[in-house]
């Protein structure tokens, strides 16, 4: 398997010092910037939108991995491309015409991902798995950083690994929520390719060192 990728979630960054935090990430073993967009409808919280993402992109030297926790994400695909998204992930639960939305993301020149809430089984991806670049398994209910890890996610990573390896899919498996060195190690053993970590990185005494430790899992 390819090397594990680490995607710190900027949701836990210091928004008053965003340039400083981006420079820390650029100087660390960060692989992707994980950008959480919440609309107060799909999830019970509002995070940030286009102008803030544009500011992060300006300071970022890594791919921008944008996780949309919004209803009808097809309305904003071009806008996210414009502010710098490289990978655009939509929620299965938020897309009536998921296949069409994925085609639109790719037509806009981005990689396409699908996120699954904790209650949604991996099996719903059977008929799009060869069309997507990323499966994002939520290991918390989306909406907030700093929540406890839901252990069922480990089994779901194994399910996704099986589905991908028995098809022509090249999708990466990303896990988001409650990731630390312990849960991260279990997720890697189950077949995860990308770990998102927000509070574990940004609330640690030495974020750059914490990223390096995750990278070494």
Q: Which residues are catalytic?
A: 36, 176
Q: What is the DSSP pairing of strand 33-38 with strand 5-8? A: unpaired
Which 125-164 residues touch ligand DX5, going by CB under 6 A?
A: 140, 142-143, 145-147
Question: Which residue, 126 or 147, is less far from Zn ion as judged by CB?
Answer: 147
Contacts of 111 by beta carbon, 8 Å cutoff, 6+ apart: 86, 87, 88, 105, 133, 134
39 lies in the binding site for ligand DX5 (CB under 6 A): no
The 8-class DSSP code of residue 21 comes to H
9 lies in the binding site for ligand DX5 (CB under 6 A): yes
* Binding residue for Zn ion, selected from 67, 91, 156, 161, defined by CB under 5 A: 67
11 lies in the binding site for ligand DX5 (CB under 6 A): yes
Question: Which residue, 73 or 145, is less far from ligand DX5 as judged by CB?
Answer: 145
Q: What angle do CA 101, 105, 107 make, to 5 degrees?
A: 110
176 lies in the binding site for ligand DX5 (CB under 6 A): yes
- Interatomic CA distance for residues 21 and 24, integer angstroms: 5
Nearest alpha-carbon partner for 106 in 139, 124, 127, 128: 128
Q: Show the site string, 49-88: x = touches ligand DX5 by CB under 6 A, - = not.
A: ------------------x---------------------
Which 33-52 residues touch Zn ion, going by CB under 5 A?
A: 36
């Amino acid at each position: 398997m390819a090397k594990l990728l680490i995607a710190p979630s900027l949701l836990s960054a210091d928004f008053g010092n965003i340039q400083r935090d981006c420079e820390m990430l650029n100087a660390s073993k960060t692989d992707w910037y994980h950008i959480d967009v919440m609309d107060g409808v799909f999830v019970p919280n509002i995070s940030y939108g286009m102008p803030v993402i544009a500011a992060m992109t300006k300071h970022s030297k890594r791919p921008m991995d944008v996780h949309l926790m919004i209803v009808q994400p097809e309305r904003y695909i071009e806008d996210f491309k414009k502010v710098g998204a490289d990978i655009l992930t939509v929620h299965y639960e938020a897309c009536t015409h998921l296949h069409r939305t994925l085609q639109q993301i790719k037509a806009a020149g981005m990689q396409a991902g699908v996120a699954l809430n904790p209650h949604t089984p991996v099996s719903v991806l059977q008929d799009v798995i060869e069309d997507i670049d990323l499966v994002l398994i939520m290991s918390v209910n989306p909406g907030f950083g700093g929540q406890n890890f839901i252990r069922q996610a480990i089994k779901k990573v194994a399910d996704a690994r099986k589905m991908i390896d028995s098809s022509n899919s090249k999708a990466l498996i990303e896990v988001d929520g409650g990731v630390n060195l312990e849960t991260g190690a279990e997720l890697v053993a189950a077949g995860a390719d990308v770990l998102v970590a927000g509070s574990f990185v940004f609330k640690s005494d030495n974020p750059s060192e914490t990223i390096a430790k995750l990278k070494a899992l």
